[in-house]
């Protein structure tokens, strides 16, 4: 029995060594939401993935307006930071305007289904979709929500049970507006983030952005905006989460050892 106990404990050591790189790490992601509505500083003409600060606004009538070159989506294949900023400035001038609802992604890619994370150069992926393991912190005037994807969304079975982190403004006076002061939000969850402290690029999408009902710029009528996407930076702190298999095997080894002593 003593040898069996030693064998179980040795298996636990092997299991620990075999934990994959994507093992769950307890991760706190903190970001300044004012980045979402900051004016673009210029055109990103590199045809690679969007960089921090790059954004895309989708409209009901006109083409998308981007701050970066995108060879894979709609034409024309140009960066239009000046138009992007013109729209944000009109948002700031709209009574009750601003972003009142936005969400994070943090889902990673799913082969043949979604390349959202790769496209936006987002490397952090949530690895545990248990709502009890997610803690969200929002500043005064905002409410944090955990939206669990279910079949009624129509996304498909591969998405069901995953968690989308969402933040909602309680009043227009709290909306995100161009020129606002920094405003920190955070979420703690299990992810594949590297252990330690790092700065990571993440994606943010606006679900509700109030601005001009009919945006016209340089003779182009874009209609109203229905979504803005933005790449922003986040401060990430991750600590290793012990493997459940490791604890289970160590516990089994302890039980066998106690039986031997009896």
Tens of pLDDT along 225-262? Answer: 999 999 999 999 999 976 544 444 444 444 444 444 44
Residues 92, 83, 205: CA angle, nearest 5 degrees: 65
The H or E element spanning position 148 is strand 142-148
Sign of the alpha-carbon torsion through 154, 113, 99, 85: negative
Torsion, CA 80, CA 55, CA 233, CA 93, rounded to 10: 90
The pLDDT, as a whole number, for residue 249 is 43
- Domain boundaries, position 216: 23-241
Say whether both 250 and 191 belong to one domain: no
DSSP 84: H
Same-domain check for residues 202 and 257: no
Residue 151 pLDDT: 94
Q: Are 80 and 65 in contact (CB under 8 A)?
A: yes
Helices (H) and strands (E) in the chain, counts: 4, 12
User: 37: which DSSP letter?
Assistant: G
**Residue numbers in the chain where pLDDT is lower than 50:** 1-21, 244-262
How confident is the model at residue 70, as a pLDDT?
85
Q: Is the Cα torsion angle 130, 132, 135, 139 positive or negative in sign?
A: positive
Listed in sequence order, the DSSP H helices in 18-101 are: 81-92
What is the DSSP-derived secondary structure letter of residue 96? T
Using CA atoms, how far apart are residues 209 and 230, in angstroms rounded to an integer? 13
Q: What is the pLDDT of residue 24?
A: 84
Question: Does one domain contain both 251 and 182?
Answer: no
Same domain, yes or no, for 4 and 56? no
The verdict on 112 and 148 lying in the same domain is yes
Query: What gap in Å lies between CA 130 and CA 149, rounded to an integer?
Result: 12
Return d(Cα 149, Cα 105) in angstroms, integer: 12
Q: Are residues 2 and 89 in the same domain?
A: no
Do 170 and 251 have their domain in common?
Answer: no
What is the domain count for the chain? 2
Contacts of 73 (CB under 8 A, 6+ apart): 64
pLDDT, residue 23, reads: 61
Verify that 79 and 162 share a domain, yes or no.
Answer: yes
**Paired tokens of 45:** 């003409």
**Claim to verify: residue 97 and residue 215 sit in the same structural domain:** yes
Report the pLDDT value the prediction gives residue 21, as an integer from 0 to 100. Answer: 45
Query: CA 1, CA 248: separation in Å to the nearest integer?
Result: 18
Residue 165 and residue 247 in one domain: no
| Same domain assignment for residues 93 and 178 | yes
Give pTM, 2 decimals. 0.83
Same domain, 184 and 261: no
* Dihedral sign, Cα of residue 82, residue 83, residue 85, residue 89: positive
CA atoms in the 13 A half-sphere facing the CB of 214? 3
Q: Which two tokens stand for residue 168?
A: 């909602």
| C-alpha dist (Å) from residue 103 to 13, 127, 143 | 40, 18, 12
CA 136 to chain centre: 12
């Amino acid at each position: 029995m003593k040898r069996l106990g030693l064998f179980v404990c040795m298996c636990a050591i092997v299991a620990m060594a075999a934990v994959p790189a994507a093992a769950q790490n307890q991760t706190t992601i903190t970001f300044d939401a004012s980045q979402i509505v900051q004016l673009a500083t210029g055109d990103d003409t590199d045809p690679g993935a969007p960089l921090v600060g790059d954004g895309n606004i989708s409209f009901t009538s006109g083409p998308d307006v981007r701050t970066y070159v995108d060879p894979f989506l709609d034409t024309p294949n140009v960066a239009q930071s000046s138009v992007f900023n013109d729209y944000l400035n009109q948002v700031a001038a709209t009574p009750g305007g601003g972003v009142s609802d936005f969400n994070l992604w943090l889902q990673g890619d799913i082969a043949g289904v979604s390349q959202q994370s790769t496209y936006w150069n987002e490397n952090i992926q949530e690895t545990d979709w248990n709502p009890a393991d997610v803690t969200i912190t929002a500043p005064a005037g905002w409410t944090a929500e955990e939206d669990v994807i279910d079949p009624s969304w129509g996304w498909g079975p591969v998405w069901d049970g995953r968690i989308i982190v969402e933040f909602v403004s309680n009043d227009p006076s709290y909306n995100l507006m161009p020129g606002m002061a920094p405003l920190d939000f955070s979420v703690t969850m299990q992810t594949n983030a590297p252990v330690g402290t790092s700065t990571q690029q993440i994606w943010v999408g606006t679900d509700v952005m109030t601005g001009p009902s009919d945006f016209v710029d340089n003779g182009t009528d874009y209609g109203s905006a229905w979504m803005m996407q933005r790449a922003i930076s986040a401060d990430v702190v991750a600590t290793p989460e012990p493997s459940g298999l490791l604890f289970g095997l160590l516990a089994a080894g302890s039980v066998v050892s106690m039986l031997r002593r009896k």
